[in-house]
Amino acid sequence: FLQMKFDKEGNTTYFEKKKTELYQELGLQARDLRFQHVMSIATRNNRIIMRMEFLKAVITPEFLLILDYRNLSLEHWLLNELASQLAGEGQLVTYSLPFEFRAIEAILQYWISKLQGRLNTLQPQILETLEALVDPNHLSVDRSKLHIILQNGKSLSELETDVKVFKETILEILDEEEVIEELCLSKWTDPQVFEESTSGIDHAEEMELLLENYYRQAEDLLNEARELRILIDDSESIIFINLDSHRNVMMRLNLQLTMGTFSVSLFGLIGVAFGMNLESSLEEDPRIFWLVTGIMFLGSGLIWRRLLSFLGRHLEPPLPPHVPAVLKKSQPAAGRVEIKTGLKGETFGLSRGTLTNQ
């Protein structure tokens, strides 16, 4: 293992050590140092083992070990932020508490900041792409925008999964009071810390408050991601509605042109009749051409207008039914009855005063 060690004062040392030597030195077993890309917080032999996917840490009452930190973003955080946070320069909330509180808070703070940063990167991209897709002035949908929103939607799903796993990891600890007690390492190793705890500072409660704080932050982060997901789904519905609207316009235009072609072809039979090689007295009169042409255009126009009016009557939405004046006056009262009925169930968890005012 390539290791980075931080003590209580923030001093940093680097060294490499074999896995067998490390778990023997820490009093752990081999399976405790098998770090997969999972997320968990566990205690073994007065040691805290934190697995945050690629972030692997072992916390003791005296120092913090970061294992296999070959990651660019992780190295930047380790070298520029973590040491100062553990030494108190980062103004952690738990600085007045034992060392393991500061170490746990620093790691949880880093991870929730990383998740928040991913959301802050996705949010403007998604909003910008959706704004371009739902623009009613565009008759067609840009395929490149659809590809971008598809990739962003996949990234958003991965973010939601990571936040849920983070929440569930913390919730598993909050549901077990014994595990919370075990996380307070200094309470069992330092008699002075134990005396302070019994005199009024309950470290277990402090640890529970610390975990609840990051659980709420993860919950807020997940709610923001869900709002983005709902916005994507709503925008998808709007896109389909716009496409259906444009398609209906094209279908109606096609139908109108078809009716116009039918009208012209119907009266065009007169020209076909005169175009036959049959002799009559009408072709000798020079006014007949204009008379027949006028009848053809006039008849075609009348039939086309008739077909359009028939189409309009069948496509326009029906008028709303007439409501008598007595029923119109009684509508506010009926609305109040419905509100009172809804108050009994209080489905949405609102107070009676709030619904009454609304």
Phi, psi angles (nearest 5°) of residue 200? 145, -20
Looking at 73, 89, 105, the residue that finishes a domain is 89
- Within this chain, do residues 103 and 192 fall inside the same structural domain, yes or no? yes
**Tens digits of residue pLDDT in 201-231:** 678 888 899 999 999 999 999 999 999 999 8
Point out the least confidently predicted range of 49-53, 99-103, 112-116, 243-247. Answer: 243-247
DSSP string, 244-277: HHHHHHHHHHHHHHHHHHHHHHHHHHHHHHHHSS
Identify whether 135 is part of a domain.
Answer: yes
Residue where a domain stops, chosen among 56, 89, 122? 89
Looking at residue 190, its pLDDT comes to 67
Phi-psi region of 346 (alpha: psi -120 to 50; beta: other; left: phi over 0): left
Q: Which two tokens stand for residue 262?
A: 């039918």
Residue 163 has pLDDT above 90, yes or no: yes
Regarding whether 70 and 23 lie in a shared domain, the answer is yes
Say whether both 266 and 292 belong to one domain: yes
Q: Provide the pLDDT confidence category of residue 316 given band limits of 50, 70 and 90.
A: low
- Comparing 28 with 340, the larger pLDDT belongs to 28
Alpha carbon distance 25, 5 (integer Å): 14
Q: In what order do the strands lie in the sheet with 12-16?
A: 12-16, 2-7, 63-67, 55-59, 47-52, 39-44
Residue 61 · residue 186 · CB < 8 Å: yes
Q: Which of 226, 245, 264 is the last residue of a domain?
A: 245
With a pLDDT cut of 70, the percent of the chain lying above it is: 73
Write out the residue range of the structural domain in which residue 258 sits. 246-276+285-312
pTM of whole model > 0.75?
A: no
Domain count, the chain: 3
Rounded Cα distance, 39 and 165, in Å: 7
Q: Which three-class secondary structure state does DSSP give residue 308?
A: helix
Verify that 30 and 56 share a domain, yes or no: yes
Distance CA 126, CA 134 (A): 12
Choice between 249 and 124, residue whose per-residue pLDDT is larger: 124
Gap between the Cα atoms of 128 and 324, Å rounded:
48
pLDDT reported for residue 156? 92
Query: What is the per-residue pLDDT for 292?
Result: 77
Q: Output the pLDDT for position 91.
A: 62
- Identify the three-state secondary structure at position 17: coil
Which of 23-37, 77-91, 136-150, 170-184 shows the highest mean pLDDT? 170-184
CATH code for position 76? 2.40.128.330
